[in-house]
């Protein structure tokens, strides 16, 4: 329920993607938002207002002169009560009208009369999107403070392929949720590792662990929502990359080490969430190990992997380093000892049975001030708390430039 208590006016303009707005209404409501739908006249040719009235449970407005509004001020009343005005799909024609400040129907009038943030999800043919007029209009809207979300690249209803596809309803909901997050890391760059590593024994076997990547990916998403430019170095997981995050996919600890060293310059924060294998087979084999009858099981010689976090923290001018510790017992003792040995300002402790694999976790943050326990919650909620804590530490560090970490 990440939009609980939020009132959203959803504007729908004329385009085939209007059919996806039905699913969008459903998902926004599922997240706790109340949704008021306003349609352009063109949109009603694709989907009827009845569909949206049934889904939103509220009157749908299409006309400035709607006699159901006693004071004839739907354009003022609807926007005054809204926390955000979201237009999806937003057609090329509609965006052109907005850029020019036109107000010739209910939806454009509503936009002009609003005092809440405006998000638009463009949807159009790829040549319309690439047309210089649309490019100009989008630039004007961005400079006016409008959030332009998407479009995506892909197959289009006209049979062509390219940029101009409306984002999927789930992605629009994620962007809407992100829009309400405080911009605590605006202008900052954050690098993080997530997931397990896989250390090859032979072409089909290896040493790995049960990290799903969910905790790290939630932190990547939360940091991006908070305005950071995020680079995610990820071990092998089956999660989609959070929108707006740059992902570098790696397999082994050595690859993760090389990727982090290659990216770390100019980052303000480094968060090591990955469950990196401490050891790897000394000589991974090119051919599959065969089971020989009556022979003793093969011995696998292991060598130590580089300590990525330890190395980054030891740089002459390190970013603010945040480590993780997953323990099966004595969480405070072991987490604090890792914090001291790696000389980092913050370590995040979690118990193995809480942290690995699931959607929820329980965290304890250990820093110079002591312990801060965060109760069981979805990983995205915990990630947002952690991001706020990191932002506070960054601010403190800026005030005391001589401090460590």
343 assigned to a ligand binding site: no
Q: What radius of gyration do the chain's Cα atoms show?
A: 25
**134 vs 350, which CB is nearer to ligand PMT?**
350
**18 vs 215, which CB is nearer to ligand PMT?**
215
Which residue among 35, 226, 275, 386 contacts ligand PMT (CB under 6 A)? 275
**18 vs 271, which CB is nearer to ligand PMT?**
271
Q: How open is the CA angle 85-87-90, to the nearest 5 degrees?
A: 155
Task: Measure the CA dihedral 235/239/241/246, to 10°.
Answer: 0
Residue 386 interacts with ligand PMT (CB under 6 A): yes or no: no
Please tell me which residue in 158, 241, 321, 399 is annotated as part of the active site.
158
Measured from the CB of residue 367, what is the shortest distance to ligand PMT in angstroms? 14
Which stretch, 92-100, 126-134, 292-300, 304-312, contacts ligand PMT (CB under 6 A)?
304-312
45, burial (CB in 10 Å: exposed 0-12, middle 13-18, buried 19+): exposed
Measured from the CB of residue 246, what is the shortest distance to ligand PMT in angstroms? 19
Residue 185 interacts with ligand PMT (CB under 6 A): yes or no: no
* Residue in the structure block whose two tokens are 């706020």: 388
Measured from the CB of residue 163, what is the shortest distance to ligand PMT in angstroms? 33
Residue 305 interacts with ligand PMT (CB under 6 A): yes or no: yes
324 assigned to a ligand binding site: yes
What is the spatial distance between Cα 111 and Cα 121, in angstroms, rounded to a whole number? 14
Contacts of 338 (CB under 8 A, 6+ apart): 323, 325, 347
Q: Is 348 left (phi over 0), alpha (psi -120 to 50) or beta?
A: beta
Measured from the CB of residue 239, what is the shortest distance to ligand PMT in angstroms? 9
52 assigned to a ligand binding site: no
**14 vs 235, which CB is nearer to ligand PMT?**
235
Residue 323 interacts with ligand PMT (CB under 6 A): yes or no: yes
What is the spatial distance between Cα 192 and Cα 302, in angstroms, rounded to a whole number? 26
Which residues 191-250 are close enough to bind ligand PMT by CB under 6 A? Answer: 193, 211-216
CB 167: neighbour CB atoms within 10 A?
A: 23
Q: How far is CA 144 from CA 78, 141, 266, 281, 355, in A?
A: 21, 5, 30, 56, 43
Which stretch, 15-23, 153-161, 199-207, 322-330, contacts ligand PMT (CB under 6 A)?
322-330
**242 vs 355, which CB is nearer to ligand PMT?**
355
Which residues 333-362 are close enough to bind ligand PMT by CB under 6 A? Answer: 338, 350, 355-357
Is 158 considered catalytic here?
yes
E strands, 311-359, are 320-327, 346-351
What is the spatial distance between Cα 201 and Cα 289, in angstroms, rounded to a whole number? 9
> Which amino acids are annotated catalytic?
158
Q: Which residues are annotated as a binding site for CTP?
A: 278, 288, 306-309, 324, 338, 342
């Amino acid at each position: 329920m990440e939009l609980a208590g939020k009132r959203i006016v959803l504007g729908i303009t004329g385009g085939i993607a209007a059919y996806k707005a039905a699913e969008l209404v459903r998902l926004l409501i599922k997240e706790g938002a109340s949704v008021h739908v306003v349609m352009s006249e063109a949109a009603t040719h694709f989907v009827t207002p009845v569909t949206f009235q049934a889904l939103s449970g509220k009157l749908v407005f299409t006309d400035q002169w709607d006699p159901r509004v006693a004071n004839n001020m739907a354009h003022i009343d609807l926007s005054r009560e809204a926390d955000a005005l979201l237009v999806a799909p937003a057609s090329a024609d509609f965006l052109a009208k907005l850029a020019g400040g036109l107000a010739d129907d209910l939806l454009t009038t509503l936009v002009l009369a609003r005092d809440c943030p405006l998000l638009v999800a463009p949807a159009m043919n790829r040549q319309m999107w690439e047309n210089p007029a649309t490019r100009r209009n989008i630039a004007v809207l961005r400079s006016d403070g409008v959030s332009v979300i998407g479009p995506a690249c892909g197959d289009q209803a006209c049979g062509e392929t390219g940029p101009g596809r409306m984002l999927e309803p789930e992605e629009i909901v994620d962007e809407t949720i992100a829009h309400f997050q405080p911009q605590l890391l605006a202008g900052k760059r954050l690098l993080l590792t997530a997931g397990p590593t896989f250390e090859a024994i032979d072409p089909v076997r290896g040493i790995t662990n049960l990290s799903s990547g969910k905790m790290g990916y939630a932190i990547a998403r939360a940091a991006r929502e908070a305005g950071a430019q995020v680079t995610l170095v990820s071990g092998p997981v089956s999660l989609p990359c959070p929108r707006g995050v740059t992902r570098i996919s790696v397999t082994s600890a050595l690859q993760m080490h090389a990727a982090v060293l290659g990216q770390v310059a100019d980052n303000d924060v480094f968060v090591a969430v990955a469950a990196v294998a401490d050891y790897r087979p000394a000589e991974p084999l090119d051919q599959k190990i065969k089971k020989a009858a009556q022979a003793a099981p093969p011995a696998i010689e292991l060598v130590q992997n580089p300590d990525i976090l330890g190395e980054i923290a030891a740089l002459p001018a390190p970013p603010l380093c945040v480590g993780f510790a997953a323990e099966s017992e004595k969480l405070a003792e072991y987490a604090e000892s890792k914090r001291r040995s790696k000389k980092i300002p913050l370590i995040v402790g979690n118990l193995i049975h809480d942290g690995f694999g699931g959607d929820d976790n329980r965290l304890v943050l250990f820093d110079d001030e002591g312990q801060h326990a965060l109760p069981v919650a979805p990983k995205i909620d915990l990630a947002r708390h952690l991001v706020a804590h990191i932002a506070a530490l960054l601010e403190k560090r800026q005030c005391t430039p001589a401090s460590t970490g």
